[in-house]
Structure 1
Amino acid sequence: MELHVHLEGTVRPEMLLAMARRNDEALPARTVEGIAELYRFRDFDHFLKVWVLTTQVMRTAEDFREVVVDYAGRAAAQGAVYLEGIFSPWFRVHRGVPWQEIFIGYTEGAVEARERFGVEVRLTPDIDRVLPPEVAMDVVGWAARFTDRGVVGIGLGGPEVGHPPEPYAPVFAAAADVGLPAVPHAGETVGAESVRGALHVLGARRIRHGLRALEEPGLVAELVERGVVLDVCPTSNLRTGVVTDLAAHPLPALVAAGLRCSLATDDPAMFGTDLEREYAVAAGLGVPLAGLYEAGVAGALCDDRTRSRLSALGAGADWDAAQAAALAAAPAAFADLAGPVAMTNAEG
C-alpha cells in the first residue's frame, strides 16, 4: 500500500537511458553506471536538476505507460497491492508534450499494471505551486476527462516556502465539483499554517507529509477528529533535510497523537529507497506496520469495493511476522541512511 509516490521519481537509470535514446534526448552520462552516479543524492538542488532531467526525457504515451508498469512491478514484488501515483503534467506540456500523451500513457499503464501484477493503481496529477491559479485550472480540466480511467484526485506540490495553498482555493473548488478530492503536500518545510490552509481552504482529503502539524495541538486534534490521513515518507524527509536524524523522525509522535499515517517512498529512484526500506525504518522507530496499512486503506481514493478488498487483505496478513522481518532489517536500513543531509526549503 503506497499513497505518495512521484512517478517521475521512480525511473531507473537503465529506463532513463532507453527513453533518451528513442526520444533523441541528450543526457550528461551514457551508461547505466553514469546515470546511477548522477542519481546519487547530494543535495536538494542536485535532486531538482536530476528530476527535471528525467522528466524532460519523457515525451510519449509509451514513456508514461512504461513508467507506471515498471514501478508497479517492483512495488508488487515487495508486497504492494495498491498505489496512488503522482505526476506533474504541466511542465511536460510546457515543453511541447500533448496533454493527451501524458494522461493516456499514465492511465493505460495503470490498466496494464492491474492486468500483469494485480496491483490497483490510481493517479493524482499534481499542480505545481509556482503556477498561476488560472494555469493550474488546465490540470483540473484534463484530469476531469480521465476520472473514468483511474484519475482520482488532484495534488499540490512544488516549493512550500513562499507559496501558500490559499491562492489555489478556486482551483480545488473546481476539482471538487468534478469529483476530484484534494491531496496536497503541506507541513513539510512550512509549519502548521500550511497544513491548516490545505485543510480549511483546499478541503484536503489527505495531507502529503504533514509532519509539522505537530507544532499546533489544536490542529492535530482537528486532523484526528476528521480522520485525515498523513502520507509520511521518512527517507525523503531525511534526504531533504526536513529531519536531520532518522532516529528522531516524528512518525512515532504523529501516531502517538492519534493521527493516521500511511507510509511511502516519495521519489524512490532518486532518494535510494523502496517500500521494504521504508517499512524497516518504521519498524525500527517502533511503529506498528498494521496501523500504517490500515491508515493507507482509510486514506485511499478508491471505490468501496476496492477498499473492502484491501481491508480483507490487511485482515488476512500476518502482521507479527511482517513486523519482525522489518525490525530485523531496520539496523541495515538506518546504517545505509546515516550521514550528512542537505537542508532545503523545497518540497518533493
Structure 2
Amino acid sequence: MRTGPKIELHVHLEGTVRPETLLAMARRNGEPLPATTVEGLTELYRFRDFDHFIEIWIMTTHVMRTAEDFRQVVVDYAAQAAGHGAVYVEGIFSPWFRVQRGISWEEIFNGYADGVAEARERFGLDMRLTPDVDRILPPEAACEVARQAVRFRDLGIVGLGLGGPEVGHPPEPYARAFAIAADGGLAAVPHAGETTGPESIRGAVDALGARRIRHGIRAVDDPDLMVELAERNIVLDVCPVSNLRTRSVTELAAHPLSALMAAGVRCSLATDDPAMFDTDLGREHAVAAALGVRARDLYEAGVAGALCDTATRARLAAIGATTDWEAAQAALAMAAGDDQLAVDVAAAGPPAVFR
C-alpha cells in the first residue's frame, strides 16, 4: 500500500535496534543485558514513565561497541524506513556514553557515517546525522561533544541535539556547547517541551538558537509561543506514539499535534525510538491521519526543517510536488483502519476543545 513519501527528522539510531539484534550484539561483544530473550527485552520496553524509559535505554544500548555495530544500526533502520516510503532521514546518536566505555570518537562517528553511505547505495535513502548531548552531562563534557561533532562535520554531521531527562535540566547551561556547534556550521536541534512546559522551548530557542525543536508539544500550552514558532518557521519534530509510551500524553486522541498545526506551527512526524516504542513510520502516519492531519503538510514541514544542502532540499520538494497526495491520504485512511492505535484515536473522536 503506497502512503506517500516521508521525511523523518527525529529518530534515535540506538533506539531503532530490535530485541533480536540487540541480543546478538550483546553476545558478540560480551556485554550483559537485563534480559536474555526477545520476550524479556520486549517486556522491559513497557515503560512506566519517561524516567523509566531513560533507565532502560542506558541499560540496553551499551552493548553497541564497534564501528560494525554502528554501521549495522544505520543500515538496518534505513531498510525499514525506506520500506515505509522514507526519502530523507536525520538520525540521532549519543556518543558520550560510548566514549566513557572506552570506544573512540573515530570508531563511533566513522561507523555511523559508513552506515549512511551504505544506506544511500543500497536503498537510495538520503541520511544525515545529528549527535546528541545528554542534558545530565556537565557543560564542559557537552562542549567536547560539540567540538567532536564539528571535527567530523564532513561525514554528514549537520546538527547538534540535546536529549535526556528534561525535568530539572533546562537548556540554558548548554549554551556554550551550542555556540561551538554553530561556529562550526552545525544547527541546533534540541529536545524541549516534551515532559516540561513552554519555558523549556523558549530556553531552547533563546539560549541555544534552536533551528528546530524535537517534540515541542507543550507549546500548545502557550498561544503566544505558538505564534512565535509559526512566525519564525521553527519546525517541531513530533512523535505521537513515543509521547504515549512515555506517558507524556495520556491518550493519543488528545495529542496536541492537530492543535499545533491548526495554530500554524509546522510539524514533521517521526518515530523517536521505534524498536522501544513498538512503532514505525507507517504507524505514526496512520495515527496522524486518524487525528485529522494531512500527510502533505507533514512532508512539507519536513522539507522546511531538513538540515540539508540546497540541492537536496530542491529534490525533496520536487518529490512532494509530484506526489498524488489525495491518493496517499486515502491509503493512509485505510492503513489507519487497520492499526489499533489509530482505530482507538478515531473512535475517541477529536478533543473536546475541537468538537
Letter in 1 for 2:104: P
Distance 1:307 1:106 in 2: 22
Q: Note if 1:4 corresponds to 2:29.
A: no
Q: How does 1:126-205 map to 2 (within 5 A)?
A: 126-205=132-211
2:44 match: secondary structure: helix
Match of 1:119 in 2: 125
Identity of aligned residues (%): 71
Greater alpha carbon shift after TM alignment, 160-169 vs 327-336: 327-336
Which whole-Å deviations, capped at 9, do the CAs of 1:255-294 have from their partners, x for residues lacking one? 1000100000000000000000000000000011100000
Does the 8 Å CA contact 1:281/1:334 hold for their aligned counterparts? no
Deviation at 1:42, TM superposition (A): 5.0
- Counterpart among 298, 305, 308 of residue 302 in structure 1: 308
2:129 match: secondary structure: strand
Residue 46 to residue 194, structure 1, CA distance change in 2 (3 Å): closer
Distance 1:246 1:265 in 2: 14
2:136 match: secondary structure: coil
Distance 1:153 1:175 in 2: 8
Residue 336 to residue 39, structure 1, CA distance change in 2 (3 Å): farther
- Counterpart among 268, 277, 286 of residue 283 in structure 2: 277
Deviation at 1:41, TM superposition (A): 4.3
Greater alpha carbon shift after TM alignment, 325-334 vs 258-267: 325-334
Does the 8 Å CA contact 2:54/2:164 hold for their aligned counterparts? no
Q: How does 1:1-348 map to 2 (within 5 A)?
A: 1-41=7-47, 43-335=49-341
Match of 2:352 in 1: none
Does the 8 Å CA contact 1:11/1:54 hold for their aligned counterparts? no
Distance 2:52 2:139 in 1: 28
Deviation at 1:105, TM superposition (A): 0.6
2:108 match: secondary structure: helix
Structure 2: gaps spanning 5 or more residues? 1-6, 346-355
Question: With structure 1 as the length reference, what TM-score do the two structures score?
Answer: 0.94
Distance 1:23 1:337 in 2: 41
Deviation at 1:103, TM superposition (A): 0.6
Deviation at 1:200, TM superposition (A): 1.1
Deviation at 1:334, TM superposition (A): 4.2
Distance 1:187 1:25 in 2: 34
Residue 48 to residue 201, structure 1, CA distance change in 2 (3 Å): closer
Does the 8 Å CA contact 1:123/1:152 hold for their aligned counterparts? yes
Distance 1:80 1:171 in 2: 31
Which whole-Å deviations, capped at 9, do the CAs of 1:151-203 have from their partners, x for residues lacking one? 00000111111111111111111110000110000111111111111111110
How many residue pairs get aligned? The number is 339
Distance 2:98 2:343 in 1: 32
Letter in 2 for 1:249: H
Which whole-Å deviations, capped at 9, do the CAs of 1:236-259 have from their partners, x for residues lacking one? 111111111111111110010001
Does the 8 Å CA contact 1:246/1:334 hold for their aligned counterparts? no
Greater alpha carbon shift after TM alignment, 260-269 vs 184-193: 184-193
Match of 1:345 in 2: none
Distance 2:204 2:341 in 1: 35
Residue 43 to residue 164, structure 1, CA distance change in 2 (3 Å): closer
Question: With structure 2 as the length reference, what TM-score do the two structures score?
Answer: 0.92
Structure 1: gaps spanning 5 or more residues? 340-348
Letter in 2 for 1:329: A
Residue 32 to residue 2, structure 1, CA distance change in 2 (3 Å): same
Deviation at 1:9, TM superposition (A): 0.5
1:81 match: secondary structure: strand
Which whole-Å deviations, capped at 9, do the CAs of 1:272-319 have from their partners, x for residues lacking one? 000000000000000111000000010000000000111111111121
Greater alpha carbon shift after TM alignment, 177-186 vs 15-24: 15-24
Residue 326 to residue 304, structure 1, CA distance change in 2 (3 Å): same
2:188 match: secondary structure: coil
Distance 1:209 1:28 in 2: 29
